[in-house]
Chains A and B, each alone.
Chain A
Amino acid sequence: MDTLIEVSDVSKRYDSAGTFAVEGVSLDVARGEAVAVMGPSGSGKSTLLNLIAGLDRPTEGTVTVAGQRIDSLNETSLAKYRRQRVGIIFQFFNLLDDLTVADNVMLPAQLAGAPRAKARRRTDDLLERLRIGEHRQAYPARLSGGERQRVAIARALVNSPELLLADEPTGALDTTTGEEIGELLRELNRAGQSMIMVTHNPDLAFRYAQRTIQIVDGKLAGDTTDGRHVARAGAGARP
């Protein structure tokens, strides 16, 4: 297996006296894999995603992505990691209201120092592929939820990251739009895009991910592959 992500005995707590948001989690994700992370509210799904995205640091353990230890990177290196290796999609899109759709999508490329013309070509290409090319000069507030999430996906993909991380990507969308976005993510995965998706929705996980990880109370509680639930004895297990 060509391992892309290696999470090793990772724990996270937000204050020294508090409980663990994530505790002793270990898992590997292969390149090209689509993994759904499921669990009840407050179980630590988004925290785990944030640790892999380099948005937060583990209290204990190590996180390695594409051979790079990211838990020990400084803020500047983490920013470079986020812009080069991962694309992040959020439940509430997190688009910048005062930038146009095209400017939102181009932003990570520009931050990475891509030439203007190249960034624009890549943006136009993505917007066309995601069927929102006609909105390139519109502002996010004028778009529907599905359109905004497509813009967010385009932004996440603009630097061609090895890993796409999605935190409840359909959570703020109606069922039909949610399915559209799900299909879009599956297409991306079929094209070779590695992906981790946090979701509440078992149907979404079943239909669009090859593997589902269960997190309960911050601990790894299970792992299913191709719909088959694989029970785990405890935290720290690897698939």
Chain B
Amino acid sequence: MAIVGIDLGTTNSLVSVWQEEKCTLIPNNLGEYLTPSVVGVDDNGEILVGRTAKERLISHPEYTAASFKRFMGTDKTFSLGGRVFSPSDLSSFVLKQLKTDAERFLGETVEEAVISVPAYFNDLQRNATKIAGELAGLRVDRIVNEPSAAALAYRFGKMQEDKTYLIFDFGGGTLDISIVDAFDNVIEITSVAGDNHLGGDDLNRVIAEKFLAVNYLDISQLTKEEWASVLKAAEKLKQRLSEQDRADMEMNVGGRLYRMELDAKGLLEVSSRVLESIGVPLQSALSDSGYGWDEIDELILVGGSSKMPLIQNYLQFLSGKKPLCSIDPDVAVAVGVGMYAGIKERMEAVKDMMLTDICPFTLGTEVVQEDRNAPEIMAPIIERNSVLPISRVSRYFTANPFQSQCTVTILQGEHRIAKQNLCLGKLEVPVPVGKSEKDREAIDVRYTYDINGILEIDVTVVSTQETFSKVIVNKSIQLSEEEIEKRREELQKLKIHPRDQEKNRLLLARGDRLFEENTGEIRKYVGKFLEEFTAALSTQDARTIEKSYVRTQELMDIIENSPKNSVVVRLEKYLYDEWRKNQ
């Protein structure tokens, strides 16, 4: 019984396993390592996961959900085709899919997994991830931080070296920067910083906006679908610019064809705003850790968007170091998680390998200022980036004469003004009333943040030594064992689409998208190809289906990958050649 490692990402998820002294990535049944973290419901009410669902994002936005990782541990729900799902439910579909892929690949059942989460995830978010695992029928004993996993992947085989890494994780929609100190058996996160809403998607957006600007188009002229297609085309342009110096994009808007050519310099110009925003979290991670650029030994790139030469060059410019990407940035975390799963499986003293966790934000309490009209301010107790477990105590005094009660407000955040921070809870503490106007009572407030990321507050009244405690839990998401079991059974009733026909469905979804993206003659052709392919499917003859599949895919590749004005000519040539062959 193998233990698998799972990188459950915002845009893509991966699964890996430790085999024969190395970490192996497990492909899904489309032969790809990356499974998009997208879940959809199809017309029959069946659940779709991965590429097929992603293709339907544009055509069926009401029936498809993406980026749900952002909402892990919150009350937000997603409504797909009349059913309501929590972020944990949706993640469980992805996990289940990965589990099935792993079982098919290994030929044995998989019951346990190690899952990676961002270092800044709090207890609620970690717990929601565990619940997702349980809903998918996986036991999740261990949650690993993504930067620790990436560091582990790069450290494999050279454990003796002391190194300080800066891990630059630039994904589709998030940027996480962590500084990790690795020596002997210890991998310690020194600081984390990031921008929750900065990623490759922003680059797509600025390219798309540039495209509109150079063609004198306005976003209000575009339908929602057209804008989505422009974004998709912009993404493609971006990817091609990683390989070549010059690339162009073409789009059909309102029956007219528009074009834009972009070279590396142009890309730099449009994306300068995005690059500017990278500097801020980078600086804050460095200053929090107390390291300068010259004390960072290696710069590790993680996440699909950091594959761009532009980003790599900019980082090299900032740091004066060549960034490391000898492990594909897309899979580095998955490789590390797989290694960790391997360590755990061998039972070879998992505890020997020490990956520490940190508290990613400052925790404090609310206090009044000398000037009572001024707003209440935040008094920090546990500073951000403290290594867990941690316990800190601070003493506070009552503010008013004859005060009989203190309210300890538990705050999380970095702002000086209390109201600007997140309130996690309140604790009312009765205190003995003073005898004279000058008497003040003291209370000791202790915050304990344990290794599981659970925050406990103990307030001791100094004069009476009476203690009041509170553990911060969010009841609405905290599920009991039975509730999880019940929910699992509910979800099991949902039919997950049979995976054997996956690639055919994917092709159909892709065809639907192409039909929407194009107009005129090309659209007619797409309709015709789809009709022929559906006809082939209904024969239920494996050979006919396979033959038609290959042909339809080739035709769609032509439509998608050749310049717009030559699509029809190329299609006609393909069909002519085919006809000649059959003669």
A and B bound?
A: no
